[in-house]
A and B are shown apart, each in its own frame.
Chain A
Amino acid sequence: MKKLIAIVEDEPALRDNYAAALGRQGYQVKTYANRRLAMQSFVSHLPDLAIIDISLEDEAEGGFDLCRELRALSAELPIIFLTARDSELDAVSGLRLGADDFLTKDVSLPHLAARVAALFRRIDALRRPENSAEIVRRGALCIDAEKMQVTWNGAPVTLSLTEFWIVHALARNPGHVKNRQQLMDAANVVLDDNTITSHIKRVRRKFQQIDAGFDAIQTVYGMGYRWVE
């Protein structure tokens, strides 16, 4: 059965472009111009994935509200924020509201499609038994690439998709310095240096919530980051 993707985006051209691209990937796509229309539909039938813009028509933060309402309807529904707003604050707020990923509109359609596919894969993987072939272990770190899950000392670390890919890229080759561009490529995302920095910061903080002594991600000033064991 085709996966149903809901796109809530007030810019018609953009909305249609996304819909066309995802439709080509074999998804069923429904588009909504504003929060009200989207919610009307969601209440009766939840999509498999929601891609939401933050500012919706006259509601500057309509996307956040929509996310909150969606989360109230379903705790597991994957939600991706796709927005022109690239501020750190927006990203943090979005992820805090329970979004699975936060993409800026710089992302290309193939990248978007890859993201969507990855999210679906993760959901599918979570539902299947563990596949050890896809597991990377680095000391206390354990990465399940299939399920896109990360644990530290056995405790799960809840990372967004972008964060997951960053950790994955670093941990696969410990000791190798990954510069920002490499990390962006790994995360299939177009970000600027700053955003990478804040992503790294967030990743560290998430690990530190589990293990206060975490310092496996080292900054190599002027070059990038590396994973140290």
Chain B
Amino acid sequence: MSIRFQLLLVALATLVLPWAGCQYARELETALRVAQENALLASADTIARALSAQPARVFPSADDQAFKSAQGDLYVFPLHGEPLLDGYRDDWDIPADLAPLASSDRLTARLQAGMTERYLFLYIEVDSDHFTPQPGNVHPATDRFDRVDLHVLRPDGTTAAYFFATNAPGLIGAQSVISGADGVQHTASEPRIQAFWLQNSQGYHLEARLPLSLVGPRLWVQATDGRSGARAGFTPTEAPTGGRLFLTTPDLGDLLATFIRAGTRATVIDSNSLKLGAAGELHPRDLGETAESGHSWYRRFMAVDTSRWPIAASLPGRLEGKSVSTALAGEPHAEWLRTGSQELLLSAAAPVVVEGRVRGAVVLEQAGDQLLDLRDRALRRLFNFTLWAIGVVVIFLFGFATWISVRIGRLRSAADSAVGNDGSIRLSMPESGSADEIGALARGFERLLARLNEHSQYLRTLGGKLSHELRTPLTIVRSSLDNLESEGLREDQRKYVTRARDGATRLQSILSALGAAARVEESIKQAERVSFDLRDLLATAVGAYRDGFPEARFELEVPPEACFMRGAPELIIQMLDKLIENAVDFCPKGGLIGASLSRSSDHYEIAVANDGAPIPQAMLGRLFESLIEQRQGHDDKPHFGLGLYIVRLVAEFHGGRALAANLSQGGAVFTVMLPLI
């Protein structure tokens, strides 16, 4: 992987910035939430204390017994407008919360009560597959027909019984049973209590209206099916302690409204969690700009996990939840709830304590959306900033990495080409002036190259030195042998002397080969330049090689015209000798050696090709160095890798250069370029 992409990956580490930002935003949100809880709880507590100071206004009835729907206790919703008596409760401005009427038989009936300033409204649904009308001349005690009985404990303590029944659905009045003088019970109409009987496919609805003046603290409702006689509901005889009406406290809403501010809903409940009064709206006004930020995509990643929060119960008549139950147990408590949508609700409840008893609680509710908005705004800014920052960092790092890799690339290509194909070493490196590590690396390369150069210089002269230093001891050996022979040896002794002489002779030829380069350098110093015909020289030389190397075939290719140049022909001949010897060594027996001379605009090119094995790639650039040996010689002549070095020396003397290359069709070619002048 290139440095550029490595750094790009490193740049990805900056993604930790938005992550940290999110963590911070979360912390922020948590802190805000706690603060909101505390504030709301404090408000709730304040309101609760204020209310406990005036218990009469909050709890007008001294009765704080438990609400028992099993005994027919009934919660009366406050109605703000007076509904039409039409058998439908659609115009009641409260949610439907019909309480089932308890029934030992299989009669299903439901009941809801509402109250305006003057009337108590009852809405009763009875499931009945058969309508049994009231007979014309009715005997209420004995006749069977569909009826709804209503017992009312009047404010004066007496109990009145009414029933609703009809032979034709529509607006009806309540009837009361009167015992006639004859002892027979008759019905009498009670026009102050009116109802609308609506028949439908499931049964009938009854919407009834009673003046509050007729209604006391208790009211029992019982529905009776005319055909089966099944009943649902209660009568005073069945449930003498039941049938209580739980009313909301009048004007409590107004009182509460003075305590709260917009966006908060305050509810006062009694000890049965039934609402006594409420004020305020959760979403009084849209906060304008908050709407569009509602579904920021990053909220998905960042939001505090609310999935385990309880869902806010939505009951029209009562409040539920942990905060409510805790407050009713005497402790203020706040909790976060989810409403059905993804909106959050904070509910804080504080007990209202009157004379040491918890009579109810104040529950304040506030939408959590404001918090979300706050957080979202902070997050969005954070995201925008960090995205910008990341972009800038990535671009900067990428540019920086490109710069670095360009510099390293420059250094690398310089290092690759530091040792030329002709073995020359370039000592200077790019970037070596820089003060940083790359500059240090370049300087390191330079030092390395300088030492390599020293080393190759040393190798260049090593042969000559060795040959020189070994010559004297060798001469001692040879002259001693000469003397020994002259002393007159026995035949068996002579054998050993002959062997020693052979060895010395071989040693001498080795030394001579070792010193060859030094001598060529010497003769280059002495060389004189003359003008001569290179074509002629090449032709005669190749003629001589044909005789000299009968095991190889020679091909010669020269231009038709004479090729004059100034130079030292004997050096050129030595160079050719080395090139041809080298080619012969490379060639298999009977191999083809192609020598050619060609002329280009500014130089002559002498090429000697052989069809032997290719040169290993790593060797190509080093062949022309001193003491570099690339072949396994198949003769017993000593090889020190000086031949091609001599070629290079001669080529350089003429201002030219020597190159080696492999041929695509096999074999290798050694080329010497000599400038025309």
Contacts and interface: CB of A to CB of B under 8 A. Distances in A.
B483 A17 contact: yes
Contacts of B548: 222
Nearest to A104: B471
Interface string A152-192: 00000000000000000000000000000000000000101
Contacts of A193: 574
A11 B476 contact: yes
18 contacts: A13-B480, A17-B483, A21-B483, A24-B486, A86-B519, A87-B519, A87-B522, A88-B519, A89-B525, A106-B512, A108-B482, A190-B508, A193-B574, A198-B523, A222-B542, A222-B548, A222-B577, A223-B544
Given A86-B519, A222-B573, 17 more contacts: A11-B472, A13-B480, A14-B472, A17-B479, A17-B480, A86-B471, A87-B518, A109-B482, A192-B516, A194-B520, A194-B574, A221-B540, A221-B544, A222-B541, A222-B543, A222-B545, A222-B548
A20 interface: yes
A197 interface: yes
A219 interface: yes
B226 interface: no
Nearest to B476: A13
Interface in B499-548: 508, 512, 515-516, 518-520, 522-523, 525-526, 528, 537, 540-545, 548
A54 to B, nearest CB: 12
A106 B482 contact: no
A215 B516 CA distance: 28
Contact of A220 (B519, B520, B525, B540): B540
Chain B binding site: helix, strand, loop or mixed by DSSP? helix
Interface centre among B518, B526, B537, B542 (most CB of A within 10 A): B526
Nearest to A12: B476
Contacts of B508: 106, 190
Interface of A: 11, 13-14, 17-18, 20-21, 24, 84-89, 104-106, 108-110, 190, 192-195, 197-198, 201, 219-223
Contacts of B474: 105
Contact of A221 (B472, B478, B573): B573
A14 B543 contact: no
A18 B486 CA distance: 12
A198 B526 contact: yes
Nearest to A89: B522
B569 interface: yes
B13 to A, nearest CB: 68
Contacts of B516: 192, 194
B434 interface: no
A109 B400 CA distance: 76
A197 B545 CA distance: 18
Interface residues of B, number: 38
A10 B163 CA distance: 158
A221 B515 CA distance: 23
B475 interface: yes
Interface of B: 468, 471-472, 474-476, 478-480, 482-483, 486, 508, 512, 515-516, 518-520, 522-523, 525-526, 528, 537, 540-545, 548, 569-570, 573-574, 576-577
Contact of A84 (B475, B478, B526): B475
Contacts of A24: 483, 486
Interface centre among A85, A190, A198 (most CB of B within 10 A): A198
A110 B482 contact: yes
A223 to B, nearest CB: 5
Given A106-B508, A192-B512, A222-B573, A21 B486 contact: yes
Contacts of A84: 468, 471-472, 475
Given A21-B483, A106-B475, A106-B508, A85 B570 contact: no
A167 B570 CA distance: 19
Contact of B522 (A88, A110, A221, A223): A88
Given A193-B574, A221-B540, A21 B475 contact: no
B497 to A, nearest CB: 13
Contacts of B476: 11, 13-14, 17
Nearest to B521: A87
B478 A194 contact: no
Nearest to B536: A221
Nearest to A87: B522
B102 to A, nearest CB: 134
A105 B541 contact: no
A220 B543 CA distance: 11
A104 B515 CA distance: 13
B515 A86 contact: yes
Contact of B486 (A14, A89, A109, A201): A109
B582 to A, nearest CB: 15
B475 A105 contact: yes
A86 B574 CA distance: 18
Interface centre among B475, B476, B569 (most CB of A within 10 A): B475
